[in-house]
Structure 1
Amino acid sequence: MIETFKKEVKQGLENHPKTLPSKYFYNKIGDALFVEIMNLPEYYLTRSELDIFQNKTQDLISAFQLKPESYFELIELGAGDGLKTKKLLNALDAQKFSFDYFPIDISANALSLLKEDLSEVLPNVSVKTQQGDYFEVLASLKESNKPKVILFLGSNIGNMNDEKAAQFIYNLGANLKPGDKLLLGVDLIKSKDIVLPAYNDNQGITAKFNLNLLERINNELGGDFNLNQFKHQPEYNEDDGIAKSFIVSTTQQTVHIKSIGASYHFEAGEKIHTEISRKYNDALIEQIIAETDFKLDTKIMDSKAYFADYILTRH
């Protein structure tokens, strides 16, 4: 893991413009900060999808087209704290559906906390945590030949550009059988006054979350980033529906990373691109799945129509 981290940091900082992968936001500190972000008044995304899982749970279950007596595997990519999924698990349990829940996450810490929590609040639900890369875990689960429902929530697909998103969904299909379902949660295109504050909260939690990536490089790779000389900067273009996060150097400076054995110069105002947060509409979703093995079945929106859970079927 540390070698991959080192390699990807090196590649990113040698890019023009500089980049760092958003997946490295998530260590113990990053996990805790993201939970704080999800509870911020400005961060509508979690509340919007939670609205669906709380108030349209039966619509979701109906869209899966499953019978209570027929066993299936419920697989969640990037499960995190399972806040929304617990609403679905509770309903499935109450209706005596036969299933195992497989939460997949890169963070062992997040999985451990989730399993502990579910053992208390939903003791009847079978939880089989899977740490690692989505596709490696899915490839291992593919052998079971059991019907599968994949959950990919939180508009995490929006962290990819459209080409990568299409490839990602194609790869998911390659690990599934005809009839298997994918619940794809996406943030819908909205105005700047709603979107931008979600990535730039008044308390500065999102800024800490973004800058924690530099702290990780300092702690794990021997970097000497001075966090006081960098700032968090989000941007959003309403026309194309793409939000981006940057870490910006506030001064001209050079940073050394010991384990890489390299120094990186920054001009004042120079940006490191850390994350993309794509917003969607029906046409974009249809475009992204056009060359995959999925067809669009159902679209379920929250009460404000900020967010949508699309149900796709592998054909």
Structure 2
Amino acid sequence: MTTSSLLNPSVAELAQHVAEGLRKTPKALSSMYFYDDAGSRLFQQIMDLPEYYPTRAEFAIFREHGAALAAALSPGAGQAFSLVELGAGDGAKTKLLLRELLAAGTEFTYAPVDISSGAMAGLVDTLRRELPALRVAPVVEDYATALTQLRTWPGSKAVLFLGSNIGNFGPNERLNFLRQLAAPLAPADRLLIGFDLQKDPRRIRAAYDDAQGVTAAFNLNLLTRLNRELGADFDLAHWQHYTDYSPLTGAVRSFLVSTRAQQVRFAALDETVAFAAWEVIHTENSYKFTPAQIEALAAEAGLLVVQTFTDAAGDFADVVLAAQPD
């Protein structure tokens, strides 16, 4: 019996991903594994940082256009629907929309989806206290599982994917993901997706490398998670966070950098991985978009842009999409 066969399914999946990712050139790990409970808490701190404009911009959209967003997502007068949010986090922005829907007397169920059970428990508790009339059906799953379930979700639905999370996918993954979202949509169903728009490159880069070092701690927490869950022995004193932004591709790229030649043992994998001095692990992409790129991407995925909402500065767009008619 191997060590990996004793792992629970979620840890086994992480172990397989790490084993494959650290054999790549360059080495790479998915940003989805940032979000253990500690990572989710750190990301909440990031959203409050002065450099991190996306959260403030999207909040502004929800405050200014909340009623219009609620109307754009509702299937029609008197029709009940499910409001499904992928990657719900603390639901802070979504509460503005939920209040608009409740105030309008809309019949709906809120189904937040998040990979972090800790974040989900906190969200559900908060919603029960702040919005006791709200019907909540929490789902603790990753995106892939949630998308599979979405195909069998009964009745009309509106799916939220906020916070510029769509930018974390590479071009091919992004297109495939949107096609998966489009596939189960009925004509009255809607998507609401947040897109961070291209702007001053200096502002973008600063948002991912803040002066307080919270983003660095968020990136490095991935190594702490691997130490805990896979029995790795990363020494965080010999790793650092680095990020860059290319206006040509619209991509912010984040890395963990090995500051010396070192070897890391993974007990759960029964493997030792060597890192050269200044070798990197690519941990995240965060793409920024133009309105024309959003239109083209939607069309290629089988979606139609119904309405676009932006903040006053034009930093961010929340885009309502529907399936293209047959």
If the TM-score is normalised by the length of the shorter chain, which range does it land in?
over 0.9
Structure 1 residue corresponding to 2:52, chosen from 43, 67, 76: 43
Output the amino acid matched with 2:290. N
Structure 1 residue 197 and structure 2 residue 190: aligned? no
Aligned sequence identity (%): 42
SS at match of 1:272: strand
Q: How many matched pairs?
A: 315
Instruction: Tell me how far apart the structure 2 counterparts of residues 144 and 18 of structure 1 sit (CA, whole Å).
Output: 37
- Give 5+ residue unaligned stretches, structure 1: none
Instruction: Specify whether residues 139 and 219 from structure 1 end up closer, same or farther in structure 2 by C-alpha distance, changes over 3 A only.
Output: closer
Matches within 5 A, 1:25-174: 25-64=34-73, 66-174=75-183
For the 8 Å contact 2:75–2:189, the answer to whether it is kept is: no
* 1:247 corresponds to: 256
Instruction: State the shift of 1:131 in Å.
Output: 1.1
Check conservation: 2:253, 2:285, Cα contact below 8 A.
yes
CA distance in 2, matches of 1:172, 1:206: 29
TM-score (norm 1): 0.97
The change in CA–CA distance for 1:181 and 1:270 in structure 2 (over 3 A counts) is same
Give the deviation of 1:246 after TM superposition: 0.3
Corresponding position: 1:234 with 2:243: yes
In the alignment, which of 276, 282, 299 is matched to residue 291 of structure 2? 282
State the Cα deviation string for residues 10-66 of structure 1 (Å, max 9, x = none): 111111100011111111111110100011111111111011111111221232254
Give the partner amino acid of 1:204. G
Cα RMSD for the two superposed structures: 1.3
CA contact (8 A) 2:240 2:256 kept: yes
The alpha-carbon distance between structure 1 residues 94 and 269, as it changes in their structure 2 partners (threshold 3 A), is same
Whole-Å Cα distance in 2 between the matches of residues 116 and 140 of structure 1? 24
**Match for 1:165: what amino acid?**
R
User: Once the 2 structures are TM-superposed, how far is the Cα of residue 173 of structure 1 from its aligned partner?
Assistant: 1.4
Shift of residue 81 of structure 1? Answer: 0.3
Could you tell me how far apart the structure 2 residues matched to 1:136 and 1:269 are? 36
Query: Is 2:75–2:156's contact at 8 Å kept on the other side of the alignment?
Result: no
Instruction: Quickly say closer, same or farther: Cα 1:117–1:65, change in 2 above 3 A.
Output: closer
TM value normalised by structure 2: 0.93
Structure 2 letter corresponding to 1:88:
L
Aligned to 2:27: 18
The SS at the match of 1:243 is strand
Instruction: State the alpha-carbon separation in 2 of the partners of residues 195 and 281 from structure 1.
Output: 14
User: 1:210: which partner in 2?
Assistant: 219
Question: Does 2:22 match 1:4?
Answer: no
Contact 1:185 1:308 survives alignment (8 Å): yes
C-alpha spacing 1:131/1:312, structure 2 compared with 1 (3 Å): same
The separation in 2 between residues aligned to 1:170 and 1:116, in whole angstroms, is 33
Which amino acid letter does the alignment assign opposite residue 265 of structure 1? Answer: A
Secondary structure in 2 matching 1:290: helix
Counterpart-to-counterpart distance in 2, 1:16 and 1:140: 34
Structure 1, 262-271 or 27-36: larger mean CA deviation: 262-271
